[in-house]
């Protein structure tokens, strides 16, 4: 797959440290804009778990200039999209509009970010909404098992916190808590990245952003991130369900680890697609599970390689033996050349297809800044994927598939005594 990319990315750092990054995509009519803050649930203390997500909701509930309904009407009146999301290590407030409405969109985003009222009345209504959101996840076992798994895998560490929080912490968050958290974690200029992609001129956009963010002053009292140290764990949560929902995890790599592309290929081969070994062996060849897949998650200093499966209790042990056997096979033998080529083409195709929208370009610009402090060209990523060898894939498999760091979480009609300990070992 040969591709030629003309770089149209530009970056300006305002005098206070706020970064403005853009990518011009002349062939589209739209512009996607995001205010990204390097703060998320990982910055929370245990007693305030869920406050970042709560704050994200509250910033849309009215400012000195706009009510919540007016915010919706303003963006709807120009056919735009306005939303936000909270992650472990960052929060994003974004908008997508036609190019001629960029000034309006930035004005609205900045108003939401800097001037939200955080009213007590709206706070109580939104608290109830978030509590319903937490309960909804608990009613969805394939989602809930992921939360339980994260709590076990990242035991005692903020990366294990549920982004939504829990019922106790969310019930106790006050307006002053939200305001203090925002000042502590968000009003830090060097943590802010304003990213835009689409039919846009960089210098014009920088001038617009400078009017809102250029004079921003902030504190430097934000939370230091603790280091995570992985260790083995096995956790059972008995519940009367039709299936047993299983998560298996082991340390992955950080966003900056040079082995990340080898891990991406290992994931593609093991369980990252319908043609992967786990999907073919567990579902297609034996019919043991409807859903089985692997995935990778990376953070600034650590990562996770995970496997999810939903299976009936009667075939749970057989499915576990197949999974453990496949992991050992990947650890002990290099992948075949045909598999390696197939995985590389899959990764490259997924990357290029993901960049079909201005939203994706905008997000990629920001994440490059968050984790690399510079833009990483798509062409460079494609070259790094192509350069991975079968030996490097086996090296990362040997590195992560170790019994002393494997974590298992089971949710459903199963107890510890139902699974022989040797089933959960890489022999």
User: Does residue 23 have an active-site annotation?
Assistant: no
β-pair partners for 411: 237, 245
Q: CA–CA separation, 2 vs 378, rounded Å?
A: 12
Rounded CA-CA distance 153/175 in Å is 32
Q: Please name the helix (run of DSSP H) or strand (run of DSSP E) that holds residue 346, with its range, or none.
A: helix 337-354
CB 339 within 8 A of CB 392: no
Residue whose structure tokens are 């050992």: 328
Of 411, 426, 363, 424, the closest CA to residue 93 belongs to 363
- Cα–Cα dist 217/183, whole Å: 10
Residue 307, φ and ψ in degrees, nearest 5: -130, 135
CA distance 282 to 277: 8
C-beta of residue 366 within 8 angstroms of C-beta of residue 21: yes
Q: What does R_g of the chain's alpha carbons equal in angstroms?
A: 23
Q: Considering the candidates 56, 126, 339, 369, report the single residue annotated as catalytic.
A: 56
CB atoms within 10 A of CB 217: 7
Q: Which residues are tagged catalytic?
A: 56
């Amino acid at each position: 797959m040969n591709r030629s990319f003309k770089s149209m990315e530009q970056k300006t750092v305002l005098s206070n440290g706020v970064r403005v990054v853009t990518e011009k995509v002349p062939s589209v009519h739209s512009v996607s804009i995001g205010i990204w803050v390097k703060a998320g649930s990982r910055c929370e203390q245990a007693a305030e778990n869920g406050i970042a997500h709560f704050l994200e909701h509250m910033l849309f509930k009215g400012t000195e200039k706009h009510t919540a309904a007016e915010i919706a009407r303003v963006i709807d009146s120009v056919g735009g999209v306005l939303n936000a999301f909270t992650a472990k290590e960052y929060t994003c407030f974004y908008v997508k509009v036609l190019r001629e409405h960029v000034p309006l969109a930035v004005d609205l985003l900045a108003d939401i970010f800097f001037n939200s009222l955080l009213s007590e009345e709206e706070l109580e209504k939104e608290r109830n909404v978030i509590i319903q959101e937490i309960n909804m996840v608990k009613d969805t076992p394939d989602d809930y098992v992921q939360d339980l798994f994260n709590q076990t895998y990242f035991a005692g560490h903020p990366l294990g916190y549920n982004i939504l929080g829990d019922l106790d912490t969310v019930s106790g968050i006050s307006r002053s808590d939200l305001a203090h958290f925002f000042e502590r974690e968000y009003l830090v200029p060097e943590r802010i990245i304003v990213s835009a992609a689409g039919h846009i001129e960089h210098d014009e956009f920088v001038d617009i952003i400078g009017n809102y963010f250029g004079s921003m002053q902030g504190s430097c009292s934000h939370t230091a991130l603790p280091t995570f140290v992985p260790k083995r764990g096995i956790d059972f949560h008995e519940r009367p369900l039709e299936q047993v929902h299983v998560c298996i995890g082991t340390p992955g790599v950080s966003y900056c680890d040079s082995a990340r592309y080898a891990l991406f290929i290992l994931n593609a081969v093991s369980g990252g697609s319908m043609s992967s070994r786990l999907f073919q062996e567990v579902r297609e060849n034996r019919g043991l599970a409807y859903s089985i897949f692997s995935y990778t998650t990376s953070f600034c200093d650590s990562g996770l390689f995970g496997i999810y499966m939903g299976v009936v209790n009667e075939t749970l042990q057989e499915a576990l033996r197949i999974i453990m056997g496949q992991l050992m096979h990947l650890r002990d033998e290099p992948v075949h050349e045909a598999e390696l080529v197939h995985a590389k083409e899959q990764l490259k195709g997924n990357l290029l297809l993901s960049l079909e929208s201005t939203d994706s370009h905008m997000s990629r610009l920001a994440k490059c800044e968050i984790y690399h402090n510079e833009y990483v060209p798509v062409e460079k990523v494609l070259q790094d994927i192509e350069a991975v060898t079968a030996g490097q894939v086996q090296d990362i498999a040997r590195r992560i598939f170790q019994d002393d760091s494997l974590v298992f979480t089971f949710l459903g009609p199963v107890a510890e005594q139902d699974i022989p300990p040797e089933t959960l070992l890489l022999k």
